[in-house]
A and B are shown apart, each in its own frame.
Chain A
Amino acid sequence: MSDTHPTPTFMILPSDGEETGPAVSPLRPGQNPDAIAISGQWTLIRRRFFSNKVAVFAGIVVLLFYAIGLFAEFLAPTSPTLAQPTFTYAPPQDISLFVTGEDGTRHWEPHVKGYAMTVDPASLRRSFAIDDANVIPIGLFVEGVPYKLWGLFEMNTHLLGPLDPTQPMNLLGTDSLGRDLLSRLIFGTRISMSIGLIGVISSLIIGVTLGALSGYFGGWTDIAIQRLIEVISAMPTIPLWLGLAAAVPIAWSPLQVYFMVTLIVSLLAWTGLAREVRGRFLALRSEDFVTAAILDGSGQMRVIFRHILPSLTSHILAVVTLAIPTMIVAETALSFLGIGLKSPVISWGVLLQDAQNIRTIATAPWLLIWPSGAVVLTVLAFNFLGDGMRDAADPYAT
């Protein structure tokens, strides 16, 4: 008989000219307070989620990253594998919008400045300086290196690039082979973001199935599955990854290795999800509406899939969202250690391999800053999104 959480009333019973319900006024003029009566679970969840501004913003960031991964070929200014032997460790160029002409007038012409290279005669080390005189005009939707979008469409249009494809434009600098870091980062997004998804989907299947069995049936099933989870959680992950990755046949293509690594990561990551699902099942199994479903004659499968799982989907979604960044970090760590993805596959972890020694960090700090920045931003965005989804997941909580 709580007074603080009044139920919206739906008056059907006859009344006799008195007030028929609690005094209510809409938050904004013209809003219908009765609208939630016919809204289902997902409408309520959506409404609650969208009132959380941070989570919505994080969600937009995540979507943006996936869009970048999806249209990598188009968004990258050049090919990520195109080496420019004359521009190794070239520093980032800034975009300028106006050019000062010889007569002193400024006119609109977006451009980057070219490099002036000097070679130290003793060490033969190259060093670059920005050459203000060398103007490289750039533009949107320019023609550049040809590619096949998604392996299907022959195209050569890039969102941003130099008007003359032979001129250098390295907005984030280049690596040891003179490859454009921005293009590599954009292609890395595709692999790094999707390894999270694929990894989570396989651990989702294992986790939900084992968690549901464990929670619903209890008894020996539960004990066996829980002990398995404990054994897996107790294993030191890095040595295990090392061992499993070493077992991958050397002749496999980078793509096969990539799937193997995903599988290895997800085989160890399902335990948290299984525990979560089991806990929810244990709680829901004793709910009155589940008992009512059993008394209504529903079989076990119907009780699990029709009555219990729908109450869980929103929770599972939230857990999955929080699991994806773990996967991304795991891939980055593995690749950084050299046991995950290897060149020529491009991922954020592979990019970070280039930043493993102090000389690189000293002379080309952008090789460390941008890939790790991408990892941090993604993980944060996923965490905020997941938190928001978890808060919105149970619209009937209060």
Chain B
Amino acid sequence: MNTQDTPLPLLSVRNLSIDFHLRSHVLHAVRDVSFDLHPGRTLCLVGESGSGKSVTARALLRLIDPQARVSGGTITLNSAEGPLHLDRMAANSREIRAVRGGRIGLIFQEPMSSLSPVRTIGAQIVEALLLHRKMTKAEAKAETVNLLKQVEIAQPEKMADRYTFEFSGGMRQRAMIAMALACDPDILIADEPTTALDVTTQAEIMDLIGRLQASRGMAMLMITHDLGLVAEVADDVAVMRWGKIIEQGPVDAIFHAAQHPYTKRLLAATLQLDSAPKRVPPATDSKPLLSVHGLSKYFGGHDWRGRPTYSIKAVDDVSLDLWPGENLGIVGESGSGKTTVGRMLLRIMEPTSGRILWRGAPTEQDVLQMRPPELGQFRSAVRLVFQDPFASLNPRMTVKQVIADPLVVSGALTGAALEERVGTLLEMVGLDRSAMERYPHAFSGGQRQRISIARALALDPRIIIADEATSALDVSIRAQVMDLLLDLQKRLDLSFIFIAHDISVVRYFCDRVAVMHQGRIVETGAAEQICTAPEHPYTQSLISAVPNPDPRDRRMLHRTKFIA
């Protein structure tokens, strides 16, 4: 197991097993996991959701849910005073609390919920310092400012007195890092530290963590599902699946000489997305199926007399065309207005101004002028697939009821014909007919997204708007769902508007791409051109911040920066 010849690892985990005693069954979330952490090196635990990687990391600090039990194994922390057996400490003992924060720092995925909303950032770091290091309050305050400076927060004296909600996502994660580093830990555990962040922010944060690790000689355990990120930062990699480490080794060996079929599949799925597509773009000489002109949405407030007090341009003068059979991607980071555009296309949200021309009906129509019956027809021809496969299916309906709902409303089919149609739709999206009687909670994320797609297909649509439809899915499932969509497109003559933050997904799926930044489209072009030769500086910075899944070509750290 030990890939290093160093005599004594900083932390060593042997045969760790954790069981979850759930309401209906016992889940063996972690099985026989062994690994070592060495000073100055980064071990990445990679796995898809449910693989047990987060539980493993939390178990090191004995921070596991009450229904989870460590059923075996040892966790040994080696220090100058001799080995500490973390597995033998009680979950809330004085000893383990000295280790938490003191010897091992932890960075969580969601910086908003891991920081207290009611206390200033500075006060939270001061607390950590007072708990673990013998300092006076004044010293702790000075140290806090110093730490915030180290994590590159501008004006640290001022920012220490701000509250969590006054920080952006990236700044919150920097503050979390400052807190984790407050007591000079030997080991840093980072649990999906950048998953909630935009790709450019992710590059900055990983850059920062890397430099801090090098200067302090910390061992790092990073948990992630993103193989690209692993290739960029890891020294060693352990691949987890269903609670087991199935393959472990130096990063180069894992990426270039993987042994286990699952690792190979995972890599293939990642690389597949990164490769150039073999799609033939559709002809664009005819008139577009859907044209958007000058679409804008301003959010604003007004005083009691109705005079505007402020306005935010969420979407500002966006124009797009979608030709029949085409896949159009809309890419942007959070807050760029891409989701708002998607919602306005279906008039879930009313635009402030602009025109949306629909040529799917016999005559050209402006969607924004449509009355309810026409709008209903338009909405049955243009369907939406949502981002969150857990929120978009009514948990109280069976799969059959969910998929059949649009058909029942339109009164198109009843009885046996309806059941037959639902069965056909399920098979079309790669699910078994027997899934019909089950409830959504019986399905995994990828399967639920297939059900969503089946519902979208029920009314024989012309266009499907996929709003981050694959971003909640694991990488292998993501590739499967996209291949499914591409296959359906061939069979059913569909056009897609694919809204995403992930460039690689868009590159794989789309013919043309529009890049959005702060409500405006900064660049539109063929997908391959945008990804390989972007013209706008913002697009360039976006593309260069995307992690490259090849440890021999680490390019995220040499990215182009864009200052708006």
Contacts and interface: CB of A to CB of B under 8 A. Distances in A.
Most buried by A among B24, B225, B241: B24
Interface in A46-74: 47-48, 51
Interface in A8-32: 8-10, 12-13, 16, 18-19, 21-27, 31
Contacts of B387: 288
Interface in A293-316: 293-298, 302, 307, 310-311
A373 interface: no
Which size class do B's interface residues fall under?
35 or more
Nearest to A313: B396
A296 B28 contact: no
A23 B242 contact: yes
Contact of A4 (B55, B195, B379, B384): B55
A297 B410 contact: yes
A145 to B, nearest CB: 51
A105 interface: no
A13 B472 CA distance: 19
Nearest to B477: A13
A357 interface: no
A19 B192 contact: no
B405 A293 contact: yes
A297 B406 contact: yes
A141 to B, nearest CB: 45
Interface in B421-456: 430-432, 435, 437-439, 441-445, 447, 452, 455
Contacts of B192: 1
B376 A297 contact: yes
A7 interface: yes
B409 to A, nearest CB: 4
A41 interface: yes
Contacts of A21: 242
Interface residues of A, number: 49
A95 B96 CA distance: 61
Given A25-B26, A287-B391, A40 B386 contact: no
A310 B27 contact: no
A26 B25 CA distance: 5
B383 interface: yes
Contacts of A132: none
Nearest to A297: B409
Contact of A22 (B50, B437, B441): B50
B438 to A, nearest CB: 5
Contacts of A1: 49, 192, 195, 225, 472, 474
Contact of B348 (A38, A289, A295, A302): A295
Contacts of B55: 3-4
Contact of A295 (B53, B261, B383): B383
B137 interface: no
B554 to A, nearest CB: 24
A291 B348 contact: yes
A146 interface: no
Nearest to B392: A288
A10 B435 contact: yes
Most buried by B among A6, A8, A40: A6
A251 interface: no
B171 interface: no
Contact of A23 (B31, B445, B480): B31
B379 A25 contact: no
Nearest to A289: B394
Contact of B27 (A22, A35, A293): A22
B294 interface: no
A36 B23 CA distance: 10
A9 B444 contact: yes
A12 B430 contact: yes
Contact of B21 (A3, A19, A27, A295): A27
Interface string B250-261: 000000000001
Given A1-B195, A23-B242, A39-B439, A292 B225 contact: no
Given A10-B438, A13-B480, A3 B51 contact: yes
B261 A18 contact: yes
B398 interface: yes
Nearest to B382: A295
B24 A33 contact: yes
B269 interface: no
B379 A295 contact: yes
A2 interface: yes
B439 A38 contact: yes
B396 A27 contact: no
Contacts of B442: 8, 10, 36-38
Interface string B473-498: 01000001000000000000000000
A396 interface: yes
B27 A6 contact: yes
A297 B379 contact: yes
Interface in B1-56: 20-21, 23-29, 31, 49-55
A385 B1 CA distance: 54
A7 B243 contact: no
Given A3-B50, A38-B439, A287-B391, A27 B24 contact: yes
A7 B50 contact: yes
Most buried by B among A10, A293, A297: A297
Contact of A41 (B225, B388, B396): B396
Most buried by B among A289, A307, A396: A289
Nearest to A17: B261
5 tightest Cβ-Cβ pairs between the two chains A and B: A37-B442, A33-B25, A23-B28, A296-B406, A288-B392
Interface of B: 20-21, 23-29, 31, 49-55, 65, 68, 192, 195, 225, 241-243, 261-262, 346, 348, 376, 379-380, 383-384, 386-388, 391-396, 398, 405-406, 409-410, 430-432, 435, 437-439, 441-445, 447, 452, 455, 472, 474, 480
Given A3-B52, A292-B393, 7 more contacts: A6-B20, A24-B26, A31-B25, A33-B25, A35-B24, A295-B346, A302-B409
Interface of A: 1-4, 6-10, 12-13, 16, 18-19, 21-27, 31, 33, 35-41, 47-48, 51, 287-289, 291-298, 302, 307, 310-311, 396
18 contacts: A2-B54, A10-B438, A18-B261, A21-B242, A22-B50, A26-B25, A37-B441, A37-B442, A38-B437, A40-B398, A41-B396, A41-B439, A289-B395, A291-B348, A292-B392, A292-B393, A295-B348, A311-B396
